[in-house]
Structure 1
Amino acid sequence: MSNSAAAAVLTTADLTEAIRAVRTLLSRADISQGEVDFDAVIRSPDALTQVLHVLPDLVWWASAGKEHGSSEAGDNPADSLPIQVLDWGRPLDRAEPFIAALGPDPGAVRWDLAAWPAVPEAGLEAISQTYAYLTLTVNCRDLYQNKPSQDHTVHVHARDRNGDQIARVHWLADQVGGRFTGRVELAPL
């Protein structure tokens, strides 16, 4: 397993603004083979109902441990709240409905992109899908829901290739009216 550095480029209390930033960044990426991954802590029955509507075959386990319930065991997630969700490889069109379903619960959606294309005018070479990711954290400040918050953060991932990682992060931040503050988290891929 490898890792990437997820750089925070926009933090806002306005979820609509965060989604708009994600859409802008997706328009700059190659999403031809894209998919999304979900990581969340579902605490409320209402959020669970909405999430199950979006992802009926959700992969989950009880936050207290798998012995207290899991999708693998065929348990009812409503009997195991709060639950941890870690669901991978979903179609791109599931991202925004999942975000809306979370309500106040914390989560992260990671878009696995085909590439960050070259940006010749900025001196940036293309980056393959190995390190081309975009993550939106909702109701938390970190990728792992350890820092609950009432705001949302857009993170971009880019591999250091010919020293262009920081330049690409700054360029992507500029595209959404954000700025790279230096906040970076290690993200397993």
Structure 2
Amino acid sequence: MSNSAAAAVLTTADLSEAIRAVRTLLAVADIGQGEVDFEAVIRSPEVLTRVRHVLPDLEWWASAGKEHGSSEDGDDPADSLPIRVSDWGRPLDRATPFIAALGPDPAAVRWDPDAWPAVPEAGLEEISQKYAYLTLTVNSRDLYQNEPSQDHTVHVHARDRNGDQITRVHWLAEQVGGRFTGRVESAPL
């Protein structure tokens, strides 16, 4: 297993601004074979119903531990709230309905594009899919929903190859009118 470095490049209370930033970055990336992954903490029956409508087969487990309920055991998630959910490798068009379903609950939506492109004018080579991720944390400042907040953060992932990590992060931040905040989280891949 390897890790990427997820750098925060935009934090905003305006979810539509964060989504616009994600769309701008996806327009930069090669997304031909792209996928999207989801993680969230669901606290209410209403949010659970909306999320299950978007992702009916998601995996879940009780926040208090799997022994208090899980999809693996065939339990009813509504009886185990709050729950943690995850779903992987979905088509890109699932992201927007999932985000809309969340309400105030915290989540991380990670897009897995094929590559960050080469940017010759910035001295950047193409970065392959293994290190080309983009994550939007909704109602949370961190990738793991441990820091709930009322704002949303866009994180870009890029591998530190030939010292281009910081240059690429700054370049991507500039594309969305953001700035690298200096905050980086390790993201297992």
TM-score class, shorter: over 0.9
> What is the rounded CA distance, in whole Å, between the counterparts of 1:23 and 1:112 in structure 2?
13
| TM-score, scaled to structure 1 | 0.98
Q: Secondary structure at the match of 2:87?
A: strand
> Hey, what does 1:126 align to over in structure 2?
126
1:1-189 aligned at under 5 Å gives the runs 1-189=1-189
Shift of 1:63: 0.7
Provide, for residues 69-90 of structure 1, a one-character-per-residue CA deviation record: whole Å limited to 9, x for no partner: 1111111111111000122111
Q: Secondary structure at the match of 1:5?
A: strand
> What is the rounded CA distance, in whole Å, between the counterparts of 1:108 and 1:3 in structure 2?
17
> What is the rounded CA distance, in whole Å, between the counterparts of 2:35 and 2:59 in structure 1?
16
Higher mean alpha-carbon deviation, 64-73 vs 123-132, is at: 64-73
Q: Secondary structure at the match of 1:37?
A: strand
- AA aligned opposite 1:57: D
- AA aligned opposite 1:89: G
Runs (5+) with no aligned partner, structure 1:
none
> What is the rounded CA distance, in whole Å, between the counterparts of 1:3 and 1:88 in structure 2?
17
Segments ≥4 residues shifted beyond 4 Å: none
> What is the rounded CA distance, in whole Å, between the counterparts of 2:117 and 2:85 in structure 1?
31
Q: Secondary structure at the match of 1:103?
A: coil
Runs (5+) with no aligned partner, structure 2:
none
Aligned length: 189
> What is the rounded CA distance, in whole Å, between the counterparts of 1:48 and 1:30 in structure 2?
32
> What is the rounded CA distance, in whole Å, between the counterparts of 1:120 and 1:96 in structure 2?
32
Q: Secondary structure at the match of 2:99?
A: helix
Q: Secondary structure at the match of 1:71?
A: coil
> What is the rounded CA distance, in whole Å, between the counterparts of 2:14 and 2:44 in structure 1?
21
- AA aligned opposite 1:82: P
| TM-score, scaled to structure 2 | 0.98
